[in-house]
Amino acid sequence: MPVSLRAAAVVVLIGLAPVLAACGQGPQQAAPPPPKVTVAKPVKRTIVDQDEYVGRFVPIDVVEVRARVSGYLDKVHFQDGQIVKQGDLLFTIDKRPFQNTLDQARANLETAKSNVIFTQSDLARGQQLLRDRTISEQIFEQRSQAFRNAQSAVAASEAMVRQAELDLEFTELRAPVTGRIGDRRVTTGNLVTGGTGGSTTLLATIVSIDPIRFEFTFDEASLLRYERLAREGTTDVTGRGNAAVRLKLIDEPEFSHYGRMDFVDNVIDRSTGTIRGRAQFSNSDEIFTPGMFARVQVPASAPYEALMVPDAAIGTEQVRKFVYVIDKDNVARQRLVRLGQAVDDLRVIKEGVSADDRVIVNGLMRVRPGQKVTPEEQQAVPQASAAKPTTN
In tens, the pLDDT along 354-392 reads 888 888 888 878 888 888 888 888 764 444 444 444 443
Which residue, among 39, 42, 43, 41, has the nearest Cα to 376 in the 3D structure?
Answer: 39
* Distant-in-sequence, close-in-space partners of 10: CB < 8 Å, separation ≥ 6: none
pLDDT value at 145 more than 50: yes
Mean pLDDT of 276-283: 93
**What pLDDT was estimated at residue 148?**
85
Residue (of 241, 242, 246) closest to 265 by Cα position: 241
- Please give the average per-residue pLDDT across 96-100, as a whole number: 94
Q: Among 9-13, 103-107, 170-174, which stretch is predicted with the lowest mean pLDDT?
A: 9-13
Nearest to 306 by CA among 334, 267, 347, 276: 347
Q: What is the pLDDT of residues 76-91, one digit of tens each?
A: 999 999 999 999 999 9
Domains of the chain by residue range: 37-48+303-377, 51-60+209-299, 96-168
pLDDT at 355: 86
Segment 22-39 shows an average pLDDT of 68
pLDDT at position 124 over 70: yes
What is the pLDDT, as a whole number, of residue 31?
66
Give the Cα separation of 341 and 343 in Å (integer).
7
CATH classification for the domain delimited by 37-48+303-377, as one of 1.10.150.130, 2.40.420.20, 3.90.10.10, 1.20.1250.20: 2.40.420.20
Residue 303 has pLDDT above 90, yes or no: no
Is the CATH number 1.10.3720.10 carried by domain 96-168? no
| Strand 172-174 with 89-93, pairing | antiparallel
pLDDT at 268: 92
Burial class (CB in 10 A: 0-12, 13-18, 19+), 278: middle
Model confidence band, residue 3 (pLDDT cutoffs 50, 70, 90): very low
Give yes or no on whether 37-48+303-377 and 51-60+209-299 have one common fold: no
Distance between CA 172 and CA 269 in Å, rounded?
Answer: 43
The correct answer on CATH 2.40.30.170 for the domain covering 51-60+209-299 is yes
pLDDT band at 333 (very low <50, low <70, confident <90, very high): confident
pLDDT of residue 379: 62
| Comparison of pLDDT for 315 and 190, the residue scoring more | 190
Residue ranges with strand state E in 159-240: 172-174, 179-181, 191-192, 202-207, 212-219
Question: Nearest Cα to 325, choosing from 379, 380, 367?
Answer: 367
Residue 153 CA neighbour count, 13 Å, CB half? 18
pLDDT at 10 over 70: no
pLDDT of residue 363: 82
Query: What is the per-residue pLDDT across 46-70, written as a single tens digit (0 to 9) for each?
Result: 888 888 999 999 999 999 999 999 9
pTM above 0.85, yes or no: no
